[in-house]
Structure 1
Amino acid sequence: MPKAIVTGATSGIGEVIACRLAAAGMTVVLVGRDAGRLDRARGRIDAEVPGADLPTEKADLSLLAEVRDLAARLTAQPPPDVVVSNAAVVAPVDERTPEGLQRTLVTNHLAPYLLLRSLAEAQDRKPARYVIVGGDPRGLARVPVNLDDLADGGGGPLRDFMTYARTKNMNAMFGYALARRLRGTGITVNGAHPGIIRGTGLGRQASRPVRLLGAAFSPFSAGPDAGADTPAWLATAPDVEGVTGRYYVRRRAVGTAPHTTDEARCERLWNLSADLVGLRSAHG
């Protein structure tokens, strides 16, 4: 039975993606940071897809030590056919983890960087599809990553959201860099914007202005089913078999801002990230 790994699988878009992959006949490894929420998500998916094989992996993706442990457990198993990197947060810009790193940066960028690199290096050339859930390429064009300060959120009341937005640009940059490295291996890497989706819980720990902004958009936003559509399609559709290094919105390949596609910038981000997570950098 094909196997998928989905991070952020205990609610919202991630849970729906996991449900769709289970319905497609896959074993789906649900990754989340809370055992109770994992059990409840598994129960809801099993109710939709009776008999689904839904192993769980508990890991707090804001802690690199737990990401390393998760990667070690997963790479000790047969390699996956699909990996969907979906977990994300909007945390206060001044919130640091016990490891001393900004929590939004770790959860949204450094964790997928460490996890997907580790999985790819252990894949042993078995074909797989990696899908990285990112953000709106049009909106993100205005917030390039500050490569001199990866946790930069700028000033003003929305700086929590700006930090989040920059990590979503990092997702695209990392995806392009990883796809270049994996060409010819059978592993494809593509990004996807799920849309502006209500009910994700992304900003529940952010500043009040960010929460108010989210509440204002919520009545006009689509639900998790719509958000899961493009990532789940990328993970399963014959139409994109062998396609790599692209970014999709509503199942259509789109361009992203030049500051996300510039190879020198992507390589610098790769190396800065490698230093932060303790992996080899240049040409790694």
Structure 2
Amino acid sequence: MEHAVVTGANSGIGEQIATGLARHGASVVLVARNRERLEAARRRIAQVAPGVDLEVEPVDLSDLDGVRTLAERLAGRDPSIVVSNAAVIAPLDDRTPEGLHRSLATNHLAPYLLLRTIAERPSPRSRRFVVVGGSPSGLRRTPVDLDDLNLETGRGLAWPPSFRPFAAYARTKNMNTMFVYGLARRLRGTGSTVNGAHPGIIKGGRLNRHDRGALRVFGSVVGVFSPGTETGADTPLWLATAPEVDGVSGRFYVKRKAVETAGHTTDPDRVERLWRESARLVGLPA
């Protein structure tokens, strides 16, 4: 039996991915911040996949101490599928107790810490890691500022001000892509794989719950024409389960097709610098 972990699994795309894995016959650990929402998602999944082992792990992924404890606990269970899906668009002044911008902590540092911890634990079987990222074409103009990961200066972010949290979020999605390439290099020869996926612009999730002003209006208009969460879950779920991508690693997919991402995400020096700085921020050796 496959053992899977899905973050951001209490609603939206994450719940749909978890549902698909359960239908696939995998036991699934559902990870998200709110226990009540997790339990409700677990009940909904159990209705369509009766008899499948479903567990909940209520962890705030912006709390790196909590993520560290979760990572050690999950690594001990030796999951064969891990899907990093959780994300947030946080206001620029929303900081964790450690002083980290909440989007940086939740969207990038948490999956870096979680997936790296699990990947570095020896296992007799291969694993599939899937990172849900953003649109490669849409993110070309928002390169990661490697000198300002934590938005201490906020330079180069968007205008008007209400769009700045989205620009910060976009940078973390490019970090996700760079993390995929960095981890893929380290997984070579192990049999385990990691790939990224863009789910598309999807309605029905909670990603934009903190939007304000023009960004809220923009999101509402776009949402009218966007497909639902089942469509968004399709490519990540395919990467987690499909035989045709067995052994494929270090790629980014849109609608089940491998695509090129921006040069600023593939540059080896930039990828390695992000890896080292991320290690420092989460307290791991580079």
> Which bin holds the TM-score, normalised by the shorter protein?
over 0.9
SS in 2 for 1:171: helix
8 Å CA contact 1:93, 1:151 repeated in 2: no
CA–CA distance in structure 2, aligned partners of residues 116 and 100 of structure 1: 22
Q: Which residue is equivalent to 2:23?
A: 23
Q: Which residue is equivalent to 2:178?
A: 173
8 Å CA contact 1:198, 1:223 repeated in 2: yes
Query: Unaligned stretches of 5+ in structure 1?
Result: none
Query: Unaligned stretches of 5+ in structure 2?
Result: none
Q: Which residue is equivalent to 1:73?
A: 73
After superposition, give the CA deviation of every residue in 1:28-64 in whole Å (9 maximum; x if it has no partner).
1101111111110000001111122101111100110
2:192 matches 1:193: no
TM-score (normalizing by structure 2): 0.96
Q: Which residue is equivalent to 1:209?
A: 214
After superposition, give the CA deviation of every residue in 1:70-122 in whole Å (9 maximum; x if it has no partner).
11211222x11100000000010121011211000000000000000100011
2:89 matches 1:97: no
Runs of 4+ in 1 over 4 A off after TM superposition: none
Q: Which residue is equivalent to 2:147?
A: 148
2:277 matches 1:278: no
CA–CA distance in structure 1, aligned partners of residues 58 and 73 of structure 2: 11
Paired letter, 1:124: S
TM-score (normalizing by structure 1): 0.96
2:79 matches 1:113: no
CA–CA distance in structure 2, aligned partners of residues 210 and 49 of structure 1: 37
SS in 1 for 2:138: helix
Report the CA distance between 1:176 and its aligned residue.
0.3
2:264 matches 1:265: no
Report the CA distance between 1:151 and its aligned residue.
3.2
CA–CA distance in structure 2, aligned partners of residues 105 and 209 of structure 1: 22
Paired letter, 1:148: D
CA–CA distance in structure 1, aligned partners of residues 119 and 218 of structure 2: 37
Report the CA distance between 1:69 and its aligned residue.
1.1
CA–CA distance in structure 2, aligned partners of residues 275 and 208 of structure 1: 35
Superposition pairs for residues 199-238 of structure 1, below 5 Å? 199-238=204-243
After superposition, give the CA deviation of every residue in 1:204-223 in whole Å (9 maximum; x if it has no partner).
11333222221110011110
CA–CA distance in structure 2, aligned partners of residues 261 and 183 of structure 1: 17
SS in 1 for 2:57: strand
8 Å CA contact 1:126, 1:185 repeated in 2: no
CA–CA distance in structure 1, aligned partners of residues 18 and 183 of structure 2: 23
SS in 2 for 1:138: coil
